Structure 1
Amino acid sequence: MSKRNIVAVDLGASSGRVMLAQWDAASQHIDLREVRRFASLRERRAGYDCWDLDHLEREIRAGLAQLDAENIVPDSIGIDTWGVDMVLLDKAGNRVGEAVSYRDKRTHGVMEQALRELGKETIYARTGIQFLPFNTLYQFRALSQQQPEWKAQVAHALMIPDYLHYRLTGKLNWEYTNATTTQLLNIESGEWDAELLAWAGASPSWFGKPTSPGNLIGHWRNANGAEIPVIAVTTHDTASAVLATPLTQENAAYLSSGTWSLMGFESLLPYASAEALRANITNEGGAEGYRVLKNIMGLWLLQRICTELRIDDLCALIAETEKEPACRALINPNDTRFINPDSMVNEIQNACAEQHMPVPQSAAALARCIFDSLALLYREVIQDLATLRGSAFRQLHVVGGGSQNQFLNQLCADACQIPVLAGPVEASTLGNVGCQLIALGELTDVADFRRCVATNFPLKTFEPLNNSAFRASEARFAALSQPAKELAYDKAD
């Protein structure tokens, strides 16, 4: 077949889209079109911060219905989302309780319990996953302690994309890349770790064997009765984004920039040494091998500022931000105080005041504080990653929505002192599409797909400048008297 219609549902923690990719095999051309865009809603329910899954499903089905109305029959469908969050089902396949968001505070202190009772080295040796206070390991423990009435009814536990695939097909599936984010998958066997499940209070019977990306889950029937294949793509959105990153040399790193910033490199083998543990490196599953990376609190900080101050014109804000003095006020973006504060404006201002720095008052000053701090943190992380792998990086590929922020891209190049290649913007969607095209036999492998991405979506290069403000601020940033720059409640090694 020379032409294909591929539906990629790409759900981020802030918004979601139903996207149509039209593939022409003869020209190797990919044409992307947004069919429907919607918010990823979180609501307070029963005292918890929860995802509105019914809203997400309605919006996905509305997007598919729109394609039906246009007489477009998809060749396949795939869904990718954020990681760590889960959905509980009973024996009849009905939801149990709520899909509690990773930003909820129910896991506060739970990771510390795990470190005391299991040991940090033991957990890391078994999983190779970064210690984040909201990992699924700690969510299950919180469930056992706080919501035993939910736990008693559970027959299955699915990650968010697996649940949405289930709603389309009626088939259960546990896709590998998202499963690795749980900190419950054994890094040696690739299976669910019985010891960690037992500590978390989760039954092994709730889970099936993790499946590789590209697995056919089942079929969705459209309004005309056509059965459309539903494919388990790289369902973790970062895994999809990395799949679509046109990494052209061995010494290239990637930065998936959006609500979160995920910086790392690809490897056929995991890095789970004592040195990797000290650097809090994570080894998440990819389409091929591992994504060795660190999680960084990304543009979430800016998104919250814009929401609080009711700023709609981001381009105008960035233009004003460029006029602000560089590095006057700096914060640690990975401080857990910024995960979900009541007021991000107040939290940033308080953090600056506590460090005896000028307190940013205007929206532009707040944004400048965020951008400078992120760039300096990117510098620290890329140095950690280079030390771990034993060689310096020569390029940094920035993909995702944040790659459109040319000011931040330049700051990143200046701070890291390597060229930044920006694009593609729709990396998660494209990776979702690429996984489906490979599964359908249209492309051979990831390298084949990346060649298509590079041809279809030209990159913009930002060369590093000698930014004296960054040079002068590196020591000040490194010495911030805040928690170590990790997203963790624990401060000890």
Structure 2
Amino acid sequence: MPTETSPVHLAVDLGASSGRVLAGKVTETGVQLEEIHRFSNGGLDLGKRLVWNLLGQWEQITEGLSRAAGIYGKRVRSVGADTWGVDYVLLDRQNDMLGPCMHYRDGRTAGVMEKAFQRLSRSEIFRATGLQFMEINTAYQLLAMRLEESPQLDIAERFLMVPDFLHWQLSGEQVNEFTNASTTQLLDVQSGNWSRPILDAFEIPTHLFSEPVQPGHCLGNITRALQMRTRLDRSVEVIVPATHDTGSAVLAVPADSFASENPDWCYISCGTWSLMGVELARPVLSEACQLLNFTNEGGVNGSVRLLKNIAGLWIVQQCREQWKREGHDWSWEHLLNLASQSPAMLSVVDTDDSLFLAPDNMPEAVCEFCRRTGQPVPQDPGAIVRCALESLALRYRLTLSYLEQLVGHSMKTIHMVGGGVQNRMLCQFAADACGRPVVAGPVEATAIGNILMQAIGSGQLSSIQEARRLVRLAKDIVVYEPQPAGRWDEGYAKLQQFLLAAKP
């Protein structure tokens, strides 16, 4: 199919630090992407709260859609949005927003998880949802509202997660999408619908939620108001992708299988967070899964993403932001060059330690962890970056060992997708630490997965297998073979010691 006449699908891809509108063309030779509009994102301090500027993001999104309409005109066939998980908005009976969209890093959920277990035991929650326990989960955000006696829960008529909100603005339809709903720890992992026992235990009104729709579902055409504002053609359809960005990213893994009983590959979706797991046909609800705090999130076509959330590139991103505030606007290339010149495995940090959740000064937090654990303290930015990246690779190794324990067999290959694969040092560290080949790419996995699901929903593609065949044609896929040199076993032993010492 010639590129000039190929239908165009628009992906709204909203991340924790930036947002984008991209145009994608699906042809016999793969997926061609063009970034139409990019804009910054992040938390805003509003009084004592940390919130998202969701209305500002919507304004930027419509700007991107307007630009796409000017470039592609009537060739635009569909649009769909993906974002991070867990966060939401509440609407009243007039469809007005009840307050701002709260940021998952806001401090209101501190200690709430323990209070939740007084209402419903940890094991009961896990058996119902199959989800890992994190204070940022929607369940604890909503329970925090109840414990604060927020009037919003009693006034609210509808619950929409962030991508649900965007799809409402695009189409006029209010739905909850399955993959993002599965991040809430409120969804029953067996039925795929909301868990009444959990909602009742946390005093969350059940009428707020609708039965989740699956990726590929068409919500109809864009609204007339949006058509007037952007000049997109009224025939443009709103097709729901896997709205959790990891769900879209995993769809774009260039594997040759889908949701098999015994997969021999795992994935790392790498960005601000790293999400490491396997794609399965059914959830794993064993006691070991609960103890290891893995999660069973929803994937496309009824698949399950058994995975674990890892801090990802958050530490090095926040280090760079701190140095920028101090007057050093260093590029990633410069920082990685400094890291390459620093001694290997000087110190190791637990990247998932609470010290790194939201410190005021991330480089100092890295140094403080090293002081606290009696290790050499990194003395310069290169040493800090190397420490953070090596430690993240060691976290991958630990998570891989848990993953293989849960599925009962070893993984031959690690597929690494997302923006983090541009960090060549991290890719090689991951291969070396885990002792497995790392197939890195595509970089734009989330946007590609979003667009491929739209292509499937519109009938342009017939299956996930056909979509992945196109992904394997991507030119930005690089294989990193593990190198035997390095002090990875020594660093791994340190990490295990930290975790053992942290156990109550």
TM-score range normalised by the length of the shorter chain = over 0.9
Corresponding position of 2:431: 413
Inter-CA distance 46–150: structure 2 relative to 1 (3 Å threshold) = farther
Of residues 289, 294, 299 in structure 2, which corresponds to 1:276? 289
Distance 2:18 2:369 in 1: 28
Matches within 5 A, 1:446-465: 446-465=464-483
1:228 aligns with 2:228: no
Distance 1:188 1:59 in 2: 38
Distance 1:267 1:481 in 2: 28
Matches within 5 A, 1:350-365: 350-365=368-383
Of residues 235, 242, 249 in structure 2, which corresponds to 1:241? 249
1:164 aligns with 2:166: yes
Corresponding position of 2:156: 154
Inter-CA distance 133–38: structure 2 relative to 1 (3 Å threshold) = same
Distance 2:319 2:486 in 1: 27
Corresponding position of 1:19: 22
**Alpha-carbon deviation of 1:52?**
0.3
Confirm or deny: 8 A CA contact 2:443 2:476 kept in the other structure. no
Q: Give the percent of matched residue pairs that are identical in Structure 1 and Structure 2.
A: 37
1:206 aligns with 2:208: yes
Bigger Cα displacement from structure 2, 193-202 vs 276-285: 193-202
Confirm or deny: 8 A CA contact 1:141 1:199 kept in the other structure. no
Distance 2:191 2:101 in 1: 28
The list of structure 1 runs, each at least 4 consecutive aligned residues, that deviate by more than 3 angstroms after superposition, is 481-484
Matches within 5 A, 1:318-333: 318-333=336-351
Corresponding position of 1:139: 141
**Alpha-carbon deviation of 1:421?**
0.5
**Alpha-carbon deviation of 1:482?**
7.6
1:393 aligns with 2:407: no
Confirm or deny: 8 A CA contact 2:119 2:202 kept in the other structure. no
* Equivalent AA in structure 1 for residue 47 of structure 2: A
1:239-270 deviations in Å (ceiling 9; x for gaps): 00000001236301100000000000010010
* Equivalent AA in structure 2 for residue 363 of structure 1: P
Of residues 258, 269, 278 in structure 2, which corresponds to 1:265? 278
**Alpha-carbon deviation of 1:71?**
4.7
1:119 aligns with 2:121: yes
1:216 aligns with 2:218: yes
Corresponding position of 2:495: 477
What is the TM-score when the length of structure 2 is the normalising length?
0.93
What is the TM-score when the length of structure 1 is the normalising length?
0.95
1:451-480 deviations in Å (ceiling 9; x for gaps): 001113442111001133112222112101
Indicate the SS of the match to 2:274: strand
Bigger Cα displacement from structure 2, 117-126 vs 127-136: 117-126
Distance 2:332 2:401 in 1: 30
* Equivalent AA in structure 1 for residue 25 of structure 2: Q
Confirm or deny: 8 A CA contact 1:41 1:55 kept in the other structure. no
Confirm or deny: 8 A CA contact 1:332 1:482 kept in the other structure. no
Distance 2:158 2:110 in 1: 25
Distance 1:147 1:44 in 2: 22
Corresponding position of 2:315: 301
Between Structure 1 and Structure 2, how many residues are aligned? 484
1:186-235 deviations in Å (ceiling 9; x for gaps): 11211101111122221110010011111112321423452311111100
Corresponding position of 1:129: 131
Corresponding position of 1:52: 53
* Equivalent AA in structure 2 for residue 380 of structure 1: L
Distance 1:460 1:93 in 2: 47
Of residues 1, 11, 14 in structure 2, which corresponds to 1:8? 11
Q: What are the ranges of 5 or more consecutive residues in structure 1 without an aligned counterpart?
A: 485-490
**Alpha-carbon deviation of 1:147?**
5.1
Indicate the SS of the match to 2:189: coil
Inter-CA distance 312–196: structure 2 relative to 1 (3 Å threshold) = same
Confirm or deny: 8 A CA contact 1:140 1:201 kept in the other structure. no
1:343 aligns with 2:343: no
1:309-363 deviations in Å (ceiling 9; x for gaps): 0134101110110111111111111112211111112211111100011111311
Distance 1:277 1:151 in 2: 30
Distance 2:187 2:21 in 1: 30
* Equivalent AA in structure 1 for residue 165 of structure 2: Y
Distance 2:15 2:500 in 1: 29
* Equivalent AA in structure 2 for residue 267 of structure 1: L
Distance 2:205 2:145 in 1: 12
Indicate the SS of the match to 2:276: strand
**Alpha-carbon deviation of 1:55?**
1.0
Distance 1:29 1:454 in 2: 8
* Equivalent AA in structure 2 for residue 428 of structure 1: T
Corresponding position of 2:260: none
Corresponding position of 1:435: 453
1:61 aligns with 2:62: yes
Q: What are the ranges of 5 or more consecutive residues in structure 2 without an aligned counterpart?
A: 258-262
Bigger Cα displacement from structure 2, 244-253 vs 273-282: 244-253
Bigger Cα displacement from structure 2, 390-399 vs 338-347: 338-347
